[in-house]
Amino acid sequence: MSPQILDNALDAVGHTPLIRLDKIAKLNGLKCNLLGKLEYTSVGGSVKDRIAKAMVEAAEAEGKLIPGKSVVIEPTSGNTGIGLAMACAIKLLNTTDKGYSVIITMPNKMSLEKEAALRALGAEVIRTPTEAAWDSPESHIGVAQKLQREIPYGIILDQYRNVNNPLAHELTTGPEIIEAVVSTPSTPAHPSSGKVDVLVAGAGTGGTITGISRAIKKTHNKDCVVVGADPRGSILALPAELNNEDEGLAYVVEGIGYDFIPDVLSRKANDIDVWIKTSDEDSFPAVQMIMRNEGLLVGGSSGSSLSAALQWLNGDDGKLIAGTPGKNVVVVLPDGIRNYMSKSWFLKIALEAEPTPLAKAIKDILRPV
Ligand code: PMP
């Protein structure tokens, strides 16, 4: 498509690139194609822009949002909130007092960067205890429900239950991945099966993995292997015994894993074929691997997706695909480092990495004589 003037930021949601992660594939001895779906290039900075746009537009079409009155309240780990605040900032015409206000409830562990972005977009932000169980009144969900009961015209679009969450991915993220793979020809330098053979994504609400899986399996390749990444400490993985050992363990990666099963996460065996448990210890080095080798400034859960992909490809079920040139393995990279610049895990990989030979040479040159 030739460049065009867009009406507003919502027109720049999605349409993200699928990028070869060739150096990482080579470093890990993979013969298959490893491809990253780079969601931080969406205008609000994450994969969740897509569902925010879809949920607001659907609610508007159904007459559930009343300009000048509705207050959009949402419990989120931040990225859905940023998408909603962006959508509502566009709608909110302060001079005429039309549009929607936004209140975001968010657990304490989520980054200051997300809170700052939300406030910059005009949202109110309420922090809740990270350790509160999802169904307790103190949790981000409980507090959102209390506010909704008390605030006139308060509405929770509810990403955990809203069909437009997985649907947004079935209609946009999935088709974009399929189109990129199908329309890239197989060449001697880059052989391709012409299909998405494996899809790897982390799950929070589960909307991303469920929706992309449906798009691929219904319209493109019913035999695609869909691999879910679930952090140790969360209970989303199946079979459930995978979660037993670490249930309740705290982890630092944001946006994936829960202590309840969201309605929008498909439990049908065929939608998500395999689950891999991930950890902070695997995820952050994987982020560093992506930054150093591919030049992509991704966030923490992107490291979880990559670490799950590498675990699966190195295991018994994945070995054949890993060793077959042309097989396409797509890894969803949900957000970027903008959200985590002040987090100690990032400062560690950025500033405390082993000095390179070049750094040592510079030190020698600049040493006072
Ligand atoms: N990674 C990040 C950084 C996220 O914010 C989210 C959304 N919670 C996810 C992954 C998982 O996406 P989903 O909710 O669609 O499962």
pLDDT tens-digit series, residues 115-132: 999 999 999 999 999 999
What is the set of active-site residues?
48
Listed residue (367, 368, 309) closest to 37, CA to CA: 309
pLDDT tens-place string over residues 22-81:
999 999 999 999 999 999 999 999 999 999 999 999 999 999 999 889 999 999 999 999
The answer, as to whether pTM is greater than 0.90, is yes
The pLDDT assigned to 354 comes to 86
- Please give the average per-residue pLDDT across 178-194, as a whole number: 98
The pLDDT assigned to 1 comes to 65
- Please give the average per-residue pLDDT across 342-350, as a whole number: 97
For ligand 1, whether the C-beta of 205 sits within 6 Å is: yes
For ligand 1, whether the C-beta of 301 sits within 6 Å is: yes
Task: Identify whether the C-beta of residue 320 lies closer than 8 Å to the C-beta of residue 62.
Answer: no
Confidence of residue 98 (pLDDT cuts 50, 70, 90): low
Look up tokens 């699928």; give the residue: 18
What's the CA-to-centroid distance between 354 and ligand 1, angstroms? Answer: 31
The pLDDT assigned to 95 comes to 44
Task: Identify whether the C-beta of residue 21 lies closer than 8 Å to the C-beta of residue 292.
Answer: no
The two three-digit tokens of residue 223, written as one number: 């035999």
From 16, 37, 47, mutation site for ligand 1 pocket: most ligand atoms within 8 A of C-beta: 47
Query: Which strands sit side by side in the sheet containing 154-156, from one edge to the other?
Result: 124-128, 101-107, 71-75, 154-156
Confidence of residue 181 (pLDDT cuts 50, 70, 90): very high
**Angstrom distance (rounded) from CA 338 to CA 117:** 10
Cα separation of the two ends of the chain: 59
User: How many DSSP H helices and E strands does the chain contain?
Assistant: 14, 10
Listed residue (208, 64, 81, 88) closest to 140, CA to CA: 81
Q: Pseudo-torsion of CA 63, 67, 70, 73, nearest 10°? A: 90
From 48, 261, 337, mutation site for ligand 1 pocket: most ligand atoms within 8 A of C-beta: 48
Task: Identify whether the C-beta of residue 87 lies closer than 8 Å to the C-beta of residue 56.
Answer: yes
Confidence of residue 97 (pLDDT cuts 50, 70, 90): low
For ligand 1, whether the C-beta of 307 sits within 6 Å is: no
DSSP assignment, residue 270?
A: T
- Please give the average per-residue pLDDT across 307-318, as a whole number: 98
Report the DSSP beta bridge partners of residue 230. 277
Listed residue (319, 322, 290) closest to 304, CA to CA: 290
What's the CA-to-centroid distance between 10 and ligand 1, angstroms? Answer: 19
Phi-psi region of 78 (alpha: psi -120 to 50; beta: other; left: phi over 0): left
**Angstrom distance (rounded) from CA 178 to CA 304:** 22
Listed residue (222, 226, 214) closest to 264, CA to CA: 214
Confidence of residue 99 (pLDDT cuts 50, 70, 90): confident
Strands annotated E in the chain? 18-20, 33-38, 71-75, 101-107, 124-128, 154-156, 198-202, 225-231, 274-278, 328-333
Q: Which atom of ligand 1 is nearest to the CA of 48?
A: 7
For ligand 1, whether the C-beta of 303 sits within 6 Å is: no
From 42, 162, 208, 298, mutation site for ligand 1 pocket: most ligand atoms within 8 A of C-beta: 208
The two three-digit tokens of residue 252, written as one number: 């630092």
For ligand 1, whether the C-beta of 79 sits within 6 Å is: yes
For ligand 1, whether the C-beta of 234 sits within 6 Å is: no
What's the CA-to-centroid distance between 180 and ligand 1, angstroms? Answer: 22
Task: Identify whether the C-beta of residue 326 lies closer than 8 Å to the C-beta of residue 191.
Answer: yes
Listed residue (5, 20, 6) closest to 330, CA to CA: 20
Q: Which atom of ligand 1 is nearest to the CA of 78?
A: 5
**Angstrom distance (rounded) from CA 173 to CA 29:** 28
Nearest residue by C-alpha to atom 9 in ligand 1: 255
For ligand 1, whether the C-beta of 203 sits within 6 Å is: yes
Output the average pLDDT for the chain. Answer: 95
Q: Pseudo-torsion of CA 233, 269, 40, 128, nearest 10°? A: -40
Instruction: Kindly indicate whether the ipTM for this predicted assembly is greater than 0.95, answering yes or no.
Output: yes
Q: Which atom of ligand 1 is nearest to the CA of 203?
A: 16
Q: Which atom of ligand 1 is nearest to the CA of 208?
A: 15
The two three-digit tokens of residue 86, written as one number: 């962006």
Phi, psi of 177 (to 5 degrees): -65, -50
Q: Which atom of ligand 1 is nearest to the CA of 265?
A: 16
What's the CA-to-centroid distance between 198 and ligand 1, angstroms? Answer: 19
Other beta carbons less than 10 A from residue 305's beta carbon: 31
DSSP assignment, residue 189?
A: S
The pLDDT assigned to 45 comes to 98
The pLDDT assigned to 96 comes to 47
From 37, 205, 230, mutation site for ligand 1 pocket: most ligand atoms within 8 A of C-beta: 205
**Angstrom distance (rounded) from CA 100 to CA 108:** 25
User: Picking from 72-81, 274-283, 352-361, which range would have the lowest pLDDT averaged per residue?
Assistant: 352-361
The pLDDT assigned to 241 comes to 96
